[in-house]
Structure 1
C-alpha cells in the first residue's frame, strides 16, 4: 500500500480533517498514550505538551492507501502502521488510528487508514527526530507490496540492476569489478514480478534488469543473464510455481534456453565491439591531445629558456660594468698599479666572474632538469593512458570471446536437440513403415 507521511502542527485542523463527514464511515479505532478519550482532545493534549519545547511540527501524520481492488483487513492495516512506527523510531509514542470508508468514482467503497503520532518524547522533552522519513516509508511500502503480491507502482522499484546492453563502458567495467550480490539479484526478480501483471510485462521488466525469460529444460520458467547463468523464476521471485504458471501461462510458448543464450550472446558481442570502438576512439583522442600538450610544452619551455638567457645576459652586463668600475684610471690607477691594489681588484673580479658563470650554469641546469621532468611526466601520463586502453581492449576482447563461445555452445545445443528430435521421429516412423510394407496380417 502507498504510505504518505509528514510532520505537521495544526492539531485542531487535523482532527477536523480526519473526522470530516465526507467519508461514508469514520472510525476512531485507537487512542494510545493519551489522557483524552476523543481525537480533538488527544491532539490538543499533544499541542499542550509541545509548548514545553521549541518544536512547531509536533505531530506526524501518516495515510495508508491500499492498491485499487485489494481487500485489506484491519489486522493488515495495523501491521503496516506498526512497521512504519518501528522504522520511523516512533515506538511507544502516543498514537491515534482512524479508519475511513469512502465511495470512489467507480462506485466501489474503498477503505483507507490514518495514523497520527505525537513526536514529543515526554521523558526528554524534545521531539523525536525523523530523518529520511520518506525513504523509510517507501521501504515499508515496498515490502508490503512484495509480501501481498500486489502490482507495485514503478515509483517504489529500487533495483539498481540494469540491462547490460544499455551499459556505458564505465558501467560495464564497474559491474565486472563489483560482481553479483544475491540480494540484488533477488530484488531484481521481485521488482520485475511486482510491477508486472502479464507474461509480456514480466519478460520486459526482466530484460530491463538484465535477464531474459525462457523455457527451462524441464518445462519450467527460467531466466538467463548475460553470462548464461540460469535462474529459476519461482525461486528468485519467492512465488510458488503454481502462481507463476497462472500468471505466465504455458512455458512452451517461450523461447528455449539455447535460443535465449544465442540471442544474448549475439547482443553482447555487438556491445563488446561497440566498447572496443569507443576505446579506440578514446585512444586516438588522447593521442592527439598528448601531441598538442607536447607541442605546447615545447613552445613554453623554449620561451622560458630564452627568457632565462636574456635575463642572464642583462645581469652579466650589469655585473661586468660593476666590476670594471672598480678599476680606477688616471694617477689613481697608476698608484693602484704601484701598490698592487689593481692586481688584487683584477683577481677579485676574475673570481666573481667565475662564480657568476658557475651560478648561471647551475641555474641553466636546474631549469633544464625541471623541463626534462615535465616532459617525462607528460610521457609517463601518456604511457599510462596507452596501457590502460590496451588493458581495457584486451579485457573486452576476452569478453567478446566468451560470448562467441556462448553462442557456439547454444548453436551446438540447438543442433543436438534438433537431431535428437529427428531421430525420435525416425524411430517412431520405422514401425509404421514396416507395418505398411508387410500389409495386413492374413486371416485365419
Structure 2
C-alpha cells in the first residue's frame, strides 16, 4: 500500500479529480459541507475558511493506493475506513472532508483503483490551521494500520517521496561527516609542530644515525683474531678425531 500526502490550495482541484484520464471517478463521501451533492461547491466552501486564516494551502490531501490486486478486494466500507485511519493519524478527526475514488489502467493494462481524500485544515476550535508537521511519518503509521486491519501484504514503510527525503538526509549526514573530518584535520594542522623549527635538521639526523652505526661496527683486527681462533679450534677437533679421542 502506498500513501502520499501534501497540503494544497483549491485551484482546479475538482477539475483534476474528474479529469477524463480516469476510466472511472466516483465521489464516495462528502462530510460537513452545505453541499453534500456537489464536490466543486464543497471544495469552494471549505477553501473560504482557509482564506480567513490567511493560508494559500487550506487543504490536506492524501492519496491511498493499495497494492495491485488488493485494490480490487477493497469494499466501499474499507475505502472509507482507510480515510478514517489516515485522518486519525493526521489529527484531522471531525474536519470537513471529501473522498473520491479513481479507477484507471496501470502500466500493465490492468485497472487500478485508489482514492483521494481532502480535508479542511481550518480548526473551528482555535481558528488556526492544523499543522502538517511529520506528515510522512504519520502516513507511514496509518499505512501500517491499514495493512494489518485489511489483511494486506506488508510493504516498505516509506513512499517514493519519503525515500527521496531519506536519501537527501543521508547525503547531508555524509557531508557533515566529511566536514567533521576536515575540521579535525584543520585542528591537527593548527596544533602540529612546524617542521622547519625542529631542533635537528635532516642532515643532523643522518649524521647521528651514521655515528650509531659506526660505533657498532667491529674492529677489523678483532675480526681477524676471531677468525684465527675459529680455525685453531677446528684443527684441534680434527687431530683429536684422528687419534680416536672424543673432541672437547
- Partner of 2:108, secondary structure, is coil
Structure-to-structure mapping, 1:27-426, within 5 angstroms: 27-36=26-35, 37-70=37-70, 71-74=72-75, 75-147=77-149, 148-153=151-156, 155=158
Kept in 2: contact 1:55–1:126 (CA 8 A): no
- Which residue number in structure 2 is paired with residue 411 of structure 1? none
- Partner of 1:127, secondary structure, is coil
- Which residue number in structure 2 is paired with residue 26 of structure 1? 25
Deviation at 1:149, TM superposition (A): 3.9
C-alpha RMSD of the superposition? 2.7
Deviation at 1:154, TM superposition (A): 6.3
Q: 2-side partners of 1:120 and 1:149: how far apart?
A: 33
Q: 1-side partners of 2:157 and 2:83: how far apart?
A: 22
Q: 2-side partners of 1:134 and 1:50: how far apart?
A: 22
- Partner of 1:120, secondary structure, is coil
- Partner of 2:87, secondary structure, is helix
Q: 2-side partners of 1:104 and 1:80: how far apart?
A: 22
Q: 1-side partners of 2:157 and 2:54: how far apart?
A: 39
How many residues of Structure 1 are paired with residues of Structure 2 in the alignment?
163
Q: Residue 90 and residue 110 in structure 1: after superposition, are their counterparts in 2 closer, same or farther (change >3 A)?
A: same
Deviation at 1:130, TM superposition (A): 2.4
TM score, norm. by length of structure 1: 0.34
- Which residue number in structure 1 is paired with residue 8 of structure 2? 8
Q: Residue 149 and residue 65 in structure 1: after superposition, are their counterparts in 2 closer, same or farther (change >3 A)?
A: closer
Kept in 1: contact 2:101–2:114 (CA 8 A): yes
- Partner of 1:150, secondary structure, is coil
Q: Residue 106 and residue 114 in structure 1: after superposition, are their counterparts in 2 closer, same or farther (change >3 A)?
A: same
- Partner of 2:40, secondary structure, is helix
Q: 1-side partners of 2:122 and 2:158: how far apart?
A: 32
Write out the 4+ residue segments of structure 1 that deviate beyond 4 Å after TM superposition: none
Q: 2-side partners of 1:154 and 1:136: how far apart?
A: 11
Q: Residue 105 and residue 91 in structure 1: after superposition, are their counterparts in 2 closer, same or farther (change >3 A)?
A: same
Deviation at 1:144, TM superposition (A): 2.6
Kept in 2: contact 1:97–1:116 (CA 8 A): yes
Q: 2-side partners of 1:125 and 1:63: how far apart?
A: 26
Q: Residue 43 and residue 154 in structure 1: after superposition, are their counterparts in 2 closer, same or farther (change >3 A)?
A: closer
Kept in 2: contact 1:2–1:65 (CA 8 A): yes
Q: What stretches of structure 1 of length at least 5 have no aligned partner?
A: 157-444
- Which residue number in structure 2 is paired with residue 359 of structure 1? none
Deviation at 1:99, TM superposition (A): 0.6
Q: 2-side partners of 1:73 and 1:67: how far apart?
A: 11
Instruction: Indicate the structure whose relative CO is greater, using CA pairs within 8 Å and at least 6 residues apart.
Output: 2
Q: 1-side partners of 2:152 and 2:51: how far apart?
A: 44
Kept in 1: contact 2:51–2:58 (CA 8 A): no
Q: What stretches of structure 2 of length at least 5 have no aligned partner?
A: 160-248
Q: 2-side partners of 1:47 and 1:97: how far apart?
A: 16
Kept in 2: contact 1:34–1:42 (CA 8 A): yes
